[in-house]
Amino acid sequence: MNTLLTLLFRRLPIGWLQLSHSKGRFVAAVSGVAFANLLVFMQLGIMGALNSSTIAPYGLFNADIILSSAAGNTLTDKDNVARVRMFQALGVPGVARATPMYLGNLPFTLPDGTSVSMLTFGVDSTQPGFVAPGIGGDLNQLTLENTALLDLGTRGIPKSVVAGLRTGESFAFEANGKTLLAVGTMDVGGGFLADGMLMMSDQTFLRFFPTRSSGAPSHILLKVADGVSHDTVVARLRATLPAQSVKVQAMPEAAQSDLSYMSTQRPTGIIFGFGVFMGILVGLVIVYQVLSTDVADHLREYATFKAMGYGHSFFLGIVFEEAIILAIFGFIPGLIVSIGLYAGLNAVTGLPVEMEAGRAILVFLGTLAACTLSGAIATRRLANADPADLF
Partner 1 sequence: MTRDPIQVRGLDHFFGSGDARKQALFDINLTIARGSLTVLMGPSGSGKTTVLTLIGALREVGSGSVRVLGQELHGADERSLVALRKRLGFIFQAHNLHESLTATQNVLMGLEVHGRANADRQRIAAHHMLDLVGLSDRRDYLPGNLSGGQKQRVAVARALVSNPEIVLADEPTAALDKVSGQNVVRLLKTLGQVRGTTTVMVTHDPRILEMADRIITLEDGRVATDEIRNLG
> In the complex, which residues of this chain contact partner 1 (CB under 8 A)?
6, 10-12, 14, 17-18, 20-22, 300-301, 303-312, 386-389, 391
Smallest distance, partner 1 to C-beta of residue 194, A: 58
Q: Which is nearer to partner 1, 18 or 147 (CB)?
A: 18
Smallest distance, partner 1 to C-beta of residue 330, A: 20
Q: Which is nearer to partner 1, 113 or 309 (CB)?
A: 309
Q: How far apart are CA 98 and CA 120, in angstroms?
A: 19
Smallest distance, partner 1 to C-beta of residue 269, A: 48
Q: Which is nearer to partner 1, 22 or 170 (CB)?
A: 22
Smallest distance, partner 1 to C-beta of residue 32, A: 20
Q: Which is nearer to partner 1, 28 or 361 (CB)?
A: 28
Smallest distance, partner 1 to C-beta of residue 328, A: 19
32 Cβ contact partners less than 8 Å away, ≥ 6 residues apart: 286, 287, 289, 290, 330
Considering only CA atoms, which of 178, 250, 192 is closest in space to residue 57? 192
Smallest distance, partner 1 to C-beta of residue 21, A: 3
Smallest distance, partner 1 to C-beta of residue 280, A: 32
Q: Which is nearer to partner 1, 257 or 304 (CB)?
A: 304
Smallest distance, partner 1 to C-beta of residue 250, A: 60
89 Cβ contact partners less than 8 Å away, ≥ 6 residues apart: 67, 95, 98, 220, 222, 237, 240, 241
Q: Which is nearer to partner 1, 311 or 344 (CB)?
A: 311
Smallest distance, partner 1 to C-beta of residue 290, A: 17
* 18 φ, ψ (degrees, to nearest 5): -65, -45
**HEC profile of the chain:** CHHHHHHHHCCCCHHHHHHHHCHHHHHHHHHHHHHHHHHHHHHHHHHHHHHHHHHHHHHCECCCEEEEECCCCCCCCCCCCCCHHHHHHHCCCCEEEEEEEEEEEEEEECCCCCEEEEEEEEECCCCCCCECCCCECCHHHHHCCCEEEEECCCCCCCHHHHHHHHCCCCEEEEECCEEEEEEEEECCCCCCCCCEEEEEEHHHHHHHCCCCCCCCCCEEEEEECCCCCHHHHHHHHHHHCCCCCEEEEEHHHHHHHHHHHHHHCCHHHHHHHHHHHHHHHHHHHHHHHHHHHHHHHCHHHHHHHHHHCCCHHHHHHHHHHHHHHHHHHHHHHHHHHHHHHHHHHHHHHCCCCCCCHHHHHHHHHHHHHHHHHHHHHHCHHHHHCCHHHCC
Smallest distance, partner 1 to C-beta of residue 387, A: 4
Q: Which is nearer to partner 1, 148 or 303 (CB)?
A: 303
